[in-house]
Structure 1
Amino acid sequence: MAADRWQGRHQPGVAVTAVGVEHVRLSYEYLDQRDIDGYASLFDADAVLQRPGEREVRGRDEIEAYQARRQHRSATHVVDEVIAAEGRVAVVGRLVGAGVETGFADIFAIGEHGLLCSKRTFFFIAPA
């Protein structure tokens, strides 16, 4: 998997991971405010986004273009839990809007400077 390419890199320490946690929290605020430039600024130049049923989005420019296409979505993020370990941040929350509430989990890899290197999204749905 593409997100695994960050595995071999130096894992950031506790202080850098704390910066990464703040960037993760800001990412949801920026998305909910439709601040696409701010959102993209939190990602490493070579970052990768992975969402179920969609192609990987690679690089800051593609991330910005991808989110700009999704900007019409009216859902907001409710973060219920944030779990961090050196170089990784997991978020459990809900996407709420337009009469729909969907649970999600996002897994982020944090780079050595606190920027987001990858984001992998999972949605809570019952198996068929």
Structure 2
Amino acid sequence: MSSEGSDGSQKYGDEECRRTLGGMVTAAGVDHVRLAYHYLDAGDLEGYGSLLDEDVELNRPDVPAAHGRDEVIRVHEEGVVPGARHAIDRIVSQGDSVVAMGRVDGIGFVDVFTLSPDAMLRGCRRYYHVAP
């Protein structure tokens, strides 16, 4: 709920402010997730690294777990498949979480991202689709 301050400006309650800021962080986080796939597909690891929180954690079943920006970039340098392309089918988000569903080289995956308070990518855990 907002109220008018003595100078005529709008004053917002703490809860409304948190919701607004939280929504902005979530929206920026969704943009960062989209950019992360773009940078990885383009082989731009410097651009990708610019989206990562310093204490980022990467957990995927196909590469060693990594902690910290430099280590996550190194894992991608060593494990990047030339020409691999992500096809993102859907992105959903809430609060500090962004979930991307798609395919890479025809294999279905789900990435669950955690965002830092400033919308940097703090964590990514990947799950692959396995046929029954």
TM bracket (short chain): 0.7 to 0.9
What letter matches 1:74 in structure 2?
G
Indicate the SS of the match to 1:39.
helix
Indicate the SS of the match to 2:64.
coil
> Aligned pair count?
113
> Which of 104, 107, 132 is 1:102 aligned to?
107
- Shift, 1:15, TM fit: 0.5
- Shift, 1:126, TM fit: 1.7
> Which of 22, 30, 48 is 2:31 aligned to?
22
Matched, 1:75 2:84: yes
More RCO (CA 8 Å, sep 6+) = 1
Alignment correspondent of 2:10:
none
Question: How far, CA to CA, are the matches of 1:46 and 1:82 in structure 2?
Answer: 23
> Which of 32, 37, 44 is 1:35 aligned to?
44
Question: How far, CA to CA, are the matches of 2:71 and 2:54 in structure 1?
Answer: 10
* TM-score normalized with structure 1 length: 0.83
Contact 2:86 2:102 in 1 (8 A): yes
Deviations 1:52-101 (A, max 9, x none): 154310000001111111234321000000000010000000002xxxx1
Change (3 A) 1:41 1:105: same
How do 1:1-128 and structure 2 match up within 5 A? Answer: 13-96=22-105, 101-127=106-132
- Shift, 1:108, TM fit: 0.2
Please list every run of 5 or more consecutive structure 2 residues that lacks an aligned counterpart in the other structure: 1-20
Identity rate, percent = 38
What letter matches 1:19 in structure 2?
A
